[in-house]
Each structure stands twice: as C-alpha cells, then as structure tokens.
Amino acid sequence: MIDLNTAAERIWLDTQADCPTLSLEVLPEVDSTNTQLLQRGRDGQTSPTFLAARQQTAGRGRQGRQWQAQPGDSLTCSLGLPLDLDRVPGGGSALSLAVGLAVAEALDTGLAHGPGQDTITLKWPNDLWWRQRKLGGILIEATPAPGLRVGQRWVVIGLGLNLRRLADQDLPHAALQDCTDAPLSAGQAWTWIGAPLLRAVLRFEQHGFAPLRQRYAQRDALAGHDVSLWRGATAQDVLRNAPTQTGRAQGVDDDGALLVHTDAGLQRWTTGDVSVRLAATQAKPAP
C-alpha cells in the first residue's frame, strides 16, 4: 500500500520535466483542499501546488454540495496553478472535461482495464462514473491573484474520488473497490493520477479541448441517452421541480458544450449552473 507521502515523492519525480517548480504537500486534515489553495492564490502564493489531505471536513462540490472524507474512504486532492483560460475555447468549462478524461484514463491504466472490460465513464460536465454510479467528482474554481501575468488567473482543480463504499451510504455511489479485487490506498490512486493530470492541464492550456473530443466520446456516459436538464438549479430543485428541458444527448462539441436534441432542435448547453441527469427510465445502475 502506497501512502500519500510516498505518492507525493513519486509524482514530484515524474513531473520535474513538465513543471520544475511544482510542489506537493500532504496535510493530515483540512477543511477543503480547494479552499486552502484558493486562499493561497489570493495571498499571492501562486507557485504550482498539488495538495492532498488524509481527512477533509468541509469539501465542496458543484452548486455547494458537501464532500466530506474520512481517512481511507476517499482521495481528496487539488492542483493549483496559474492559467490563461480566457483564450482557450470553452475555458474552465471545457477544462473540467479534459481533467475528467485524464483521470479516467489514468485510473483505467492503473487498474489494468483492457479491451472488452468495463471502463470508467464520464458524465458531463464533471463526474466520473462506474456502471452509472458516481465514482468521483471534479470542481474547478478560479480567482484573480497578485503577481500573475495579464490574462492569467489562479486556477484550482479539485478531485474527490471514492476509494471504498460505506456500508451506511444511501446514495448510489461507486468506489474503486468495485473496480478491482485488490484493496487500493489513496496514495496508490494519487500516484496513478498525479502526473497525467498535470500534463493534461498544461496541454489543455495550449491546445484546448478539440483534440480530446474523440477520446471523450468513447467514455461519454450520456451520449445517445434521454436526459433532463435544469438551468440554475439547486440539488433540491432537481429533486422537486420539472426540468428546464429534456432531449437526447448527442455528445459534446469542440468547446466541451453538451449537445442535446430537443423538440426545438439541437441545443448547446454549457456548464455553470446546469444540472443534467439521465431520464428516469435509464437512471438505474447496471447489474
């Protein structure tokens, strides 16, 4: 079993050619790795940093959802670095897809998932899925920061990944323990993910999402399925209110927008405050 400190050393060695100034830190407990790195950026600490925590007490997902993590249950980590996303088509929204793709591919490589086996899929815009159950989530946040070049912002990319399924967990989440017979530590998962994630982010800043579109399509969990969408919705709105729109998902475009064929024709949905779910008749997980 690889612990987080050992993982940090391995990732640092593996990324020196890509980002010589990258630092890696492991904290025993933190409110939120994203919150910590966002504040550092606002304070002018803008050297690229990978931060992981053994325990996270106030993690955040999209639309204010909480993500709490006890030691051994999850991998919680964030990557902070200066990026100029305004000149990249799709910006931070498309970056979420690129990050998800990099993490899914790295995990499948680590798990030795080959052709014909179940692979980790991607639910637009920021969820990793295993057999239609949520395996992990991505949260990207950006803030102005002193000392950055014109156009740059301090961008923090947070990842929460379920390692094991809790016996009392009511939500239909998946965990890496479902994907393999061998027990996995947070350190092992971080070792698989760290370097590929950093490289994917650096390539994205240079080339955008378009070169990744075909690879994303191979893992797109929504394509070809009926979906419901809520604009500006909270989690409670999704449970209680009728969707803003329904239709059939038709993949994503070069900017990472979700394409949905509706009664009014093909519509383009970007991220922000949009929630999307498979239609109720398709939402049950595979056996």
How far apart, in whole angstroms, are the C-alpha atoms of residue 151 and residue 78? 22
Phi-psi region of 232 (alpha: psi -120 to 50; beta: other; left: phi over 0): left
- With cut-offs at 50, 70 and 90, classify the pLDDT of residue 284: very low
Within 133-241, residue ranges assigned H as helices are 176-179, 186-207, 213-217, 235-240
Judge whether 120 and 130 are in contact, CB under 8 Å. Answer: yes
- Tell me the backbone φ, ψ of residue 246, rounded to 5 degrees: -130, 160
Residue 173: which H helix or E strand, with range? none
- With cut-offs at 50, 70 and 90, classify the pLDDT of residue 173: confident
Model pTM score: 0.91
> Mean pLDDT throughout 238-266?
91
Judge whether 227 and 246 are in contact, CB under 8 Å. Answer: yes
Q: Report the sign of the C-alpha dihedral through residues 281, 285, 286, 287, in that order.
A: negative
C-alpha neighbours within 13 Å on the C-beta side of residue 238? 19
Residue 220 pLDDT > 70: yes
Pairing of strands 49-53, 23-27: parallel
226-282: CATH topology: SH3 type barrels. (2.30.30)
How far apart, in whole angstroms, are the C-alpha atoms of residue 25 and residue 9? 10
Residue 196 pLDDT > 90: yes
- Of 236, 39, 67, the C-alpha closest to 139 is 67
Tell me, rounded to whole angstroms, the distance of Cα 249 from its chain centroid: 20
Sequence length of the chain is 287
In the chain, CATH 2.30.30.100 covers 226-282
Residue 79 pLDDT > 80: yes
Say whether the peptide bond before residue 196 is cis (omega within 30 degrees of 0): no
Higher pLDDT, 10 or 178: 10
- With cut-offs at 50, 70 and 90, classify the pLDDT of residue 137: very high
> Mean pLDDT throughout 63-68?
54
- Look at 29-38, 180-189, 249-258, 264-273 and tell me which has the smallest mean pLDDT: 264-273
At position 182, the amino acid (one-letter code) is A
Judge whether 86 and 103 are in contact, CB under 8 Å. Answer: no
- Which positions ≥6 away from 230 have C-beta within 8 Å? 237, 238, 241, 243, 244, 274, 275, 276
Q: Considering the domain 4-217, what is its CATH architecture? A: 2-Layer Sandwich (3.30)
Triad 84, 65, 63: Cα angle to 5°: 50
At position 187, the amino acid (one-letter code) is G
How far apart, in whole angstroms, are the C-alpha atoms of residue 97 and residue 95? 5
In the chain, CATH 3.30.930.10 covers 4-217
- Of 204, 196, 213, 222, the C-alpha closest to 283 is 222
- Tell me the backbone φ, ψ of residue 224, rounded to 5 degrees: 85, 0
